[in-house]
Chains A and B, each alone.
Chain A
Amino acid sequence: MANKKYSMVIDLQKCVGCGACAIACKTENNTQLPATGQTFHWADFAFHKEGKFPDLKYASIPVLCNHCDDPACLKGCPEPKALYKTEDGITMYNYRFCIQCKKCYEPQDSCPYSSSDVEKEGDQHTVISFNQVGKDTHGFWRDKAALIKGCTSSPAAIADKAGITPPRAHEYSYNDRMNTEEGQQSRGKGKLADVRKDGWIEKCHFCIHRVRNGEDPYCVVSCPSSARVFGDRNDPGSEVSKLLKKYKPKRLKNNRGEYLKDGEKGTGPNVFYVREFSPAKKS
């Protein structure tokens, strides 16, 4: 039997640009606040804004790692590669081999959906985020200062009480630090270690921990409009295959909201967009 080929189809007519998927992803995957030009939003948005009052065209486009067939991030990654493809098409990261060379997202020919600094480069989002070497991850939670001394809490005190940083951290097994052997050993008195380690990159992994258990990625199940559909493109009976047959799909070219043109292959992204954010005007 052929391997699975995991893909996502996003129906832009159903999407209302509410942002629930992106925030839900942060809760599922314990990502931190933006820092040093890195967003740490595994799920994020690109925007189209055109026209003049009152004839405007606006669209928000949900974005994530495209889990490409021919991923540029993987190309630059030196052997033994930290980035790799699973047999069912997920672009994964094994921190054990990462030497922090940043070749996956910094050079010109690296991931076209990632940015070394979204603000400086004028990009709308970045798929890969890098946890700066020597800098605390989830730095917000290290602050020990209370707003009102003796009366209010502090980030560090809450993290301490929760026994984990961040205090809301969702515990699941993936190669997060808290779930590695190193993490397990550094727990101490029933505490969990931090969920990320400095020097690691991080990105969407299609919620592999859920997919392997027969569940859809968390952004998919958290979408209130059911705009996101996940599945196996090698299975013609799957919902994604049906949608791709029913509608003419588009794929993103970069992290500035541009689509690949007809015939353009790009890096072979496996996230597809069907229909339009707003339909043709009618009376």
Chain B
Amino acid sequence: MKIKRRDFLKGMAAVGVIAAVDGPMLNSLAYAQGGGASEGTWMPSTCQGCTTWCPAEVYVQNGRATKVKGNRYSKQNDGVLCPKGHLSLQELYDPDRVKVPMKRTNPKKGKGVDPKFVPISWDEALNTVADKMMELRNNGEPEKYMLMRGRYSYMRDTIYDSMTKVFGSPNGISHSAICAEAEKFGAYYTDGGWSYRDYDLSNTRYALIWGCDPLSSNRMIPATIKRFGDMLDNATVTVVDPKLQSSAAKAHNWLPIKPGEDGALASALAHVILTEGLWHKEFVGDFKDGKNLFKAGETVDEAAFEEKETNGIVKWWNIELKDKTAEWASKKTLISAAKIKEVAIGMGKAAPNVVVWLGPGAAMHVRGAYSAMAIHALSGLLGSIDNEGGVLATAKIPVAKLAKYDKYKDELAAKHSKIQKIDQRGTKAFPALNAGKSGGGVVTNNTANAMLKDPGSIKVAIGYMNNFTFSCTGAERWEKAMEQLPFFAHITTNASEMTQYADIVLPSTITQYEKMGYVKTKANRYATATLILPVVKPMWDVRTDETEIPWQIAEKLKERGFSNLLDYYTNEFKDPETGKVPTNGMEFTEYSLKIQTAPLWDGKKDVGGDKINGWEEFKKRGMWNSAAYKNKARWGGKFGKDEEKDGKVTTKGTVTHKFEFYSETLKKALNSHADKHKTTVDDILETCNYEARGELAFVPHYEAPFRYGSKSEYPFDFIDFKSKLNREGRSQNLTWYYEFKKMDIGDKSNDDVLQINPSDAAKLGIKDGDKIKITSTVASIVVNAHLWEGVRPGTVAKCYGQGHWAYGRTAAEDYHKAKPRGGSNNLLMPDDYDRLSGSTVRNGGFTGVKIEKI
């Protein structure tokens, strides 16, 4: 039974205890005086601290958010969050939040140049933005408007898509490729799914975690934390990572691979699995006469093998694997051949209940597309794709699409919104083969290069929930690009690095507490739609980035004679229940949310999963769970599907409809990109800095790591890793981040350290805590050294996140002097790309550094 505090105190008063005002009191009564439960309400929303996107609940007392937990209905987090969830309270009550729209009064822009922001009204701010946008239309150059998207919800289509295109620009630039597109590439060109994978940890017998620490990051944190301890009893857990992190520390095996050599290990594991005859026959098939012909160095006749669910196992062997022995890989990876064999055999014996967890550390390399493929191909070899205890795709989330906006585009918009995008996707050097299409994906980080190359190309930009000047590698280029951008409006919660270049700043709501929207997520075999709801009233007039502000810009554009956008928002976003037409930004927001999520709660069609009776109930629960993912859903030739439309056949997924070891899908995509540029696939590969030529380009294979800086001048491989406490780049103004930084293995609280092996430190005369300068081919940063055995000699590791020179009083050492607290990895790491996927490179030891004591 819960006793409300007030009632309790009343009760106490009745017996006269309360009369003893704060005087000495017997210990036996001390607690009784005022002891009792708290009063408040748990309200649903969503934690967007990382890309797990946990359904959450917020405890609200007297209009204040005081505690956070997971959503009680979640089949992923079971009502409990990771530390990032709790940190979010400090984000809500961040003292450095922008509370009012701001205007720049210093026309000069640059790092360390005071923008001299002054407060202005929302009306003035939106008028200025609309004026600048209309100038472009009036000059017939609406394509010079750009929208930069950062962390988003699925309300994004309004600000990112329709506002941009109906206005007349192609330039919606998302942040996606600074995150992990190379991972998706590995999955798509083998199993046909351009997405992140799910993993059935509860039922696995072998987990190979590769290039990430799923206890700290990588999209299903609480679900993984919950299962890890039991998994250690039920399975063998092996972690491949150059540095010791939490899952490596807990695992049965830690394989501290030499950075960038992941493809070598993957090929060798495949080689051993095949030579040992441990591939999963039910999925891959077998030799017709049952005799294993996979012998090191020997070519195999394709006709001798009968494949079932896969395509090209023998081709893969002949082209890539036959010579990739454990001994060969041992020299590359610095992992012993015996260990490689042990792991391969362990996995083979546990097949098909094997999780191969492909993380960004193994994929976001200069040539990472192929290591991602090689690692994901293991899941095919072991038959663990879509299998119990294996690697899964996602159950469907049957939300509705928004109405098309094509008819609202005027002639100018129709023409100019189809111009080549600024990021150079699809050009010869940037195939960005998202889901099989040349230029199908974004090359986020290259946008700065394009802006610098052609300074007039973008004249007006809006960015929201993004901070590319800090979050992109080669960050200095973004500083320069933003410096020359004539007009920039930033929708943000804090005056971040990127905000320092803004002409207008629009203060936005904090996700989870003040915003309205929804996201889709998955883990533990379930897919989920979870609502982001305003659970407290903001302290100031801050507004919702993806919907409310676009509506208000649309109103301002209408005042200036361009009504198409507001017409679209008004006509096509009626309340699905009442038919009411939205009359303001928040009505528009709610109706848009209702339209999209209606299939989950309107009861018109049985969509499976949770049964929810109406919008009010959905808002009260905050989330919907799908039914569990059906194992083997894509077996039987369903890894790809042909669709015919207007007499034209297109394929979704793999071309062969099978799991591809020889990727006909990639062959088709590469050929189509080469044809587009009237050249050969080999020429494309050379242009894009891959080693493969000929047939090798179509199979998962080893590519030697590409590195900036010679070994002699820059002797150390630099490793960037993610913190347990990183709410992406937004934790660094939160004090708890610094207090508990020690939870990141090898890091220290209240410090930003470079982890360096003591043997290396000794050679350089560096002691623990010494101030050091780290220099790469592009920049230097200054941090403190921490001597730690958990990094491979020859490599050094540093956590991403600190080094802010703006953002707030806690994040920066001196905001007004642009003096950073700690050092930013993104200054050190040059901008380069896994060009086939468009992914920015962050991993694979591509940054050579030297270290000096100062």
Contact = CB atoms under 8 A, between A and B. Distances in A.
Contacts of A14: 228-230
Interface stretch (A216-224, A239-247, A250-258): A216-224
B201 to A, nearest CB: 12
**Contact residues of A: prevailing secondary structure:** loop
Contacts of B211: none
Contacts of B86: 20, 23-24, 26-27, 222
Nearest to A150: B119
Given A151-B100, A222-B80, A33 B236 contact: no
A224 B39 CA distance: 24
B67 A225 contact: no
Contact of A164 (B39, B64, B222, B342): B64
Contacts of A281: 252-253
Nearest to A21: B83
A166 B38 contact: no
> Which among B93, B118, B252 has the highest number of chain A CB atoms within 10 Å?
B93
B66 A279 contact: no
A158 B495 CA distance: 17
Nearest to A44: B740
B586 interface: no
Interface stretch (B265-273, B593-601, B680-688, B787-795): B787-795
Interface in A146-190: 147-148, 150-155, 157-158, 161-164, 166-175, 179-182, 185
Contacts of A224: 77, 80-82, 221-222, 225-226
A90 B100 CA distance: 48
Given A20-B86, A24-B86, A152-B495, A181 B21 contact: yes
A202 interface: no
B30 interface: yes
A1 to B, nearest CB: 19
User: Which of A58, A140, A174: most chain B CB closer than 10 A?
Assistant: A58
Most buried by A among B33, B95, B99, B346: B95
Interface string B1-38: 11101001100000000100111110100110111111
B61 A96 contact: no
Contacts of A158: 93, 95, 539
Contacts of A56: 244, 249, 254, 789-790
A5 interface: no
A214 B35 CA distance: 13
B117 interface: yes
B176 interface: no
Nearest to B68: A27
Contacts of A163: 62
A17 B246 contact: yes
A19 B743 contact: yes
A210 to B, nearest CB: 7
Given A24-B86, A278-B249, A171 B39 contact: yes
A92 B29 CA distance: 12
Given A148-B102, A170-B67, A18 B8 contact: no
Nearest to A168: B89
Contacts of A33: 735, 739
Interface in B217-256: 221-222, 225-226, 228-230, 232-233, 236, 244, 246-247, 249-254, 256
A170 B66 contact: yes
Interface residues of A, number: 91
Interface in B68-107: 68-69, 77, 80-83, 85-87, 89-90, 92-93, 95-100, 102
Contact of A179 (B34, B244, B495, B739): B34
B498 interface: no
B742 A47 contact: yes
A279 B232 contact: yes
Interface in A29-77: 33-34, 41, 45, 47, 49, 51-54, 56, 58-60
Contacts of B232: 13, 278-279
Contacts of B66: 27, 168-171
Nearest to A215: B37
Interface stretch (A78-86, A102-110, A259-267): A78-86
A182 B21 contact: yes
A2 B671 CA distance: 80
B37 A210 contact: yes
Given A18-B724, A168-B64, A155 B80 contact: no
Nearest to A83: B27
Pick the most buried of B38, B85, B757, B791: most chain A CB atoms within 10 A of its CB.
B38
A214 B36 CA distance: 11
A223 B80 contact: yes
Given A11-B229, A80-B24, A173-B5, A151 B99 contact: yes
Nearest to A226: B226
A40 to B, nearest CB: 9
Interface in B777-809: 789-793, 808-809
A213 B2 contact: yes
Contacts of A97: 24, 27
B495 A147 contact: yes
B252 A279 contact: yes
Nearest to B236: A282
B725 interface: yes
Contact of B95 (A94, A153, A164): A153
A248 interface: no
Nearest to A283: B342
Contact of B736 (A18, A26, A28, A53): A26
Interface in A100-132: none
A22 interface: yes
Nearest to A154: B95
Contacts of B100: 150-151
A80 B27 CA distance: 9
Nearest to A210: B37
A184 to B, nearest CB: 8
B22 A278 contact: no
Given A151-B99, A283-B342, A18 B2 contact: no
Given A173-B5, A210-B37, A27 B791 contact: no
Interface string B23-59: 1110100110111111110000000000000000001
B22 A18 contact: no
Contact of B791 (A53, A147, A166, A175): A53
B215 A16 contact: yes
A54 B254 contact: yes
Contacts of B33: 175, 180
A59 B743 CA distance: 11
Contact of B64 (A26, A167, A172): A167
Contact of B93 (A84, A152, A167, A182): A167
A210 B3 CA distance: 11
Contacts of A180: 22, 33-34
A28 B22 CA distance: 24
A148 B5 contact: no
A16 B35 contact: no
A27 B582 CA distance: 39
Interface of A: 11, 13-20, 22-24, 26-28, 33-34, 41, 45, 47, 49, 51-54, 56, 58-60, 80-81, 84, 86, 92, 94, 96-97, 140-141, 143, 147-148, 150-155, 157-158, 161-164, 166-175, 179-182, 185, 208-210, 212-215, 218, 221-227, 277-283
Instruction: Across the A-B interface, give the 4 residue pairs with the lowest CB-CB distance, nearest first.
Output: A14-B229, A172-B38, A94-B30, A19-B743
29 contacts: A14-B230, A18-B82, A18-B246, A20-B85, A33-B735, A33-B739, A53-B759, A54-B792, A58-B244, A80-B24, A80-B27, A96-B22, A96-B24, A97-B24, A147-B96, A150-B100, A151-B117, A153-B96, A167-B64, A169-B64, A171-B62, A175-B31, A181-B21, A215-B37, A224-B77, A277-B249, A278-B251, A282-B236, A283-B253
Given A147-B815, A224-B222, 16 more contacts: A13-B232, A16-B246, A19-B724, A26-B736, A54-B254, A54-B256, A151-B119, A153-B97, A153-B540, A158-B539, A170-B59, A170-B67, A172-B37, A173-B8, A173-B37, A181-B22
